[in-house]
Structure 1
Amino acid sequence: MSIRRFPEGRTGRSAAVSRAGLVYAVAVDPVEAEGLAAQTRNALAELDRVLALAGADKSGLLQATVYITDMAAKQEMDDVWCDWIGPEENWPQRACVCVTLAGGHLVEIVVTAAKAG
């Protein structure tokens, strides 16, 4: 089986990789908006775009890891996430981890999804 990579101009890494009906993707807010809620909305919009590029969407999410810089603000991310993810049939297994991120990023989201169809 072949591996398809979607580097999108990133050096040394891809926004998504697909193989054997699965898509592995990562997203951050491309504009580094002010606040965790705004960055989460933008990162999820970017994730929608990257998943579509690789032939998947949020209904196929299997696993998600959300990295945030401030666990005290986790509810802000959760509120945006829950609005975005939709009904229970879309809910992946998800973990949230507090980390230090590069630049002005407050959130980074890494997912595995089944390809659509």
Structure 2
Amino acid sequence: MTIKRFPYEGLGRCEAVVSDGIVYAVATDPSLADGIIAQTQNTLNELRRILEAAGSGLAGMLQATVYLNDVRQKPNLDSVWLDWIGPETNWPQRACVGVDLDEGCLIEVVVTAKLV
């Protein structure tokens, strides 16, 4: 079994790992922009970059877990997500969870995707 890792700078973790045709990826907003809308846009753009670098993309997403610092912000997440995710053929199984995140971080997204 081959494992390909895409390290993240200095945090002891990878932004993506590929094994047996499956991509495991995580993204946050690298700039920690102000507000959930901006952080969601930046996080999802970062996620797209990571998935494409790993050999997948939006159409390859199987499952997504969205961690929100304030789960009451889910409608704002959804407004950005629906534009970003595209047609129904791209829609993964998705869950949203309210959690404590690092200072300034309002959203973190973890996905499982297949290579395309």
What TM-score bracket applies, with the shorter chain setting the length? over 0.9
User: Which runs of 4 or more aligned residues in structure 1 lie more than 3 Å from their structure 2 counterparts after TM superposition?
Assistant: none
State the AA in 2 paired with 1:40.
T
Are 2:79 and 1:115 aligned? no
Give the Cα separation in 2 of the matches to 1:10 and 1:89: 36
Q: Deviations for 1:53-98, whole angstroms, at most 9, x for unmatched residues?
A: 1111011000000000111111000110111001111000000000
Match of 2:57 in 1: 57
Match for 2:26: what amino acid?
V
Root mean square deviation, CA, Å = 0.8
Q: Which residue of 2 aligns with 1:29?
A: 29
Q: Find out whether 1:95 has 2:90 as its counterpart.
A: no
Alignment match, 2:17: 17
Return the TM-score normalized by structure 1.
0.96
State how many pairs are aligned.
Answer: 116
In the alignment, residue 70 of structure 2 is paired with which amino acid?
D
Structure 2 unaligned runs (5+)?
Answer: none
TM-score (norm 2): 0.97
Matched position secondary structure for 2:13: coil
Distance 1:28 1:52 in 2: 16
Read off the aligned partner of 2:35 and give its amino acid letter.
G
Alpha-carbon separation, structure 1, partners of 2:37 and 2:110: 17
| Partner amino acid, structure 2, of 1:55 | G
